[in-house]
Structure 1
């Protein structure tokens, strides 16, 4: 499989790039310590900045692999880390990946998640040989569903995460986009 690793993507309002040590303060402030973001995202709340530092170091060490895809979402206007977007699972044999993302509460409702997701989809399909990108959200998280739909993803019966576990989604809505 042809991998590119995490590369920089420039959009009109965002810079998507690798995480750097100096992201710690705004990452922690804007989303990693925010219960409503982390709980919806299915991740722990990093109350202490030292806890977030461990997470950040894990992200940064991941860049040693060209099959690691995790972007810091930087708002150009403020220069702050307002979220992240990543491939939480890569299925090399299928040339597929599962996308996850989060945007800090103070920055939601501005179209940032859709802008980041659309840019990642477009650029990953140009630079790699991924054939399919998947995502899912809890049924009650309708905002995430709108982001996925606006990014040209469409609903599908299942995603690889559940297939490999012999499960069918219960309370999750699955999406995908395929390279044509």
Structure 2
């Protein structure tokens, strides 16, 4: 088991955005090309190495429950996670330089990464990795937080610069107000993240020891809306629009609603509003949603909103829906307006 290390930068300015550590099985050659297996969990590291966070732990937990990650592979993943964190904390290669490289030119200097990172295939998963010396807990910061830089923990993975001119903002529909998430929404967030029905297709309830950090981060996230009933003033869910770290030029939409308010069309109304807004503020981005293949209600909602099923993975049991590249603003608005008239709501659980 191994991992690969990637760097991301702003397409316009070349400014480093983050390091991205992807955990995967080693590539193997097959008669038709190369094959590997993505292990769901990823590590995102700030350019100056001052903080790091784990991504897609919910998906990893779901993969464990589905049997896609067995105990032996899980042990290898844990060993690799400790090794990756140790590289960051020790500022070892390739993290020994100030940050991800700047933009490359045809004659520019290329960063040379190690060809191997002491692949753990040389040791059984239960054998201590000698390269890791007393690794810190896997959910800790690489260095203590700097009080002069509040919010850095949450901003490092969801701070899309293309949203800066358009945030904060509020969106409205005939029945709903979508406003930025506030610290006062902590009760709603806890209810969403701990409800088994809401989290059915999202890897299960969020562990208790992660709730406080998630709630603290939520209010600083650009593109994250709390959905409020206009008449009652009741917060009933949330919709988010984040950069898709798997590909440049894409943004991913996700949503969660309290089960008590399912079946009333709120999800379609709110997601449609964010799709319209996202298309307007990021016209050069493709908007996508990723959901479990078994989440039929969410799949139907996305199809009603005009998104097309563009990818399906049998190994991860996930499907991706995307805005059609040929769909102009007028056609998208028409599709969303038509969808808003349909009475059947989607599942309370969002795309994964």
What is the TM-score with the length of structure 1 in the denominator?
A: 0.76
Q: 1:75 aligns with which of 229, 232, 238?
A: 229
SS at match of 1:45: coil
| Paired residues of 1:84 and 1:102 also in contact (CA < 8 A) | yes
Query: With CA pairs under 8 Å and 6+ residues apart, which has the higher RCO, 1 or 2?
Result: 1
For residues 322 and 294 of structure 2, what CA distance do their matches in structure 1 show? 19
Shift of 1:40: 2.1
SS at match of 2:273: helix
Q: Which runs of 5+ in 1 are unaligned?
A: 63-67, 159-167
For residues 247 and 265 of structure 2, what CA distance do their matches in structure 1 show? 33
Instruction: Write out per-residue CA displacement over residues 96-115 of structure 1, whole angstroms, 9 at most, x where no aligned residue.
Output: 11111111111111111111
SS at match of 1:38: coil
Shift of 1:93: 7.4
Count of aligned pairs: 163
SS at match of 1:24: helix
| Paired residues of 1:35 and 1:45 also in contact (CA < 8 A) | no
Instruction: Write out per-residue CA displacement over residues 74-128 of structure 1, whole angstroms, 9 at most, x where no aligned residue.
Output: 1223322211111243359742111111111111111111111111111121223
1:25-174 superposed matches below 5 A: 25-29=187-191, 31-42=192-203, 44-45=205-206, 52-62=211-221, 68-90=222-244, 94-157=248-311, 168=313, 170=315, 171-174=317-320
SS at match of 2:232: coil
Q: Which runs of 5+ in 2 are unaligned?
A: 1-11, 13-161, 329-352
For residues 207 and 228 of structure 2, what CA distance do their matches in structure 1 show? 19
Give the structure with the larger helix fraction.
1
SS at match of 1:143: helix
| Paired residues of 2:279 and 2:287 also in contact (CA < 8 A) | no
For residues 110 and 140 of structure 1, what CA distance do their matches in structure 2 show? 22
What is the TM-score with the length of structure 2 in the denominator?
A: 0.42
| Paired position in structure 1 for 2:182 | 20
SS at match of 1:35: coil
| Paired residues of 1:124 and 1:130 also in contact (CA < 8 A) | no
For residues 87 and 121 of structure 1, what CA distance do their matches in structure 2 show? 9
For residues 311 and 206 of structure 2, what CA distance do their matches in structure 1 show? 31
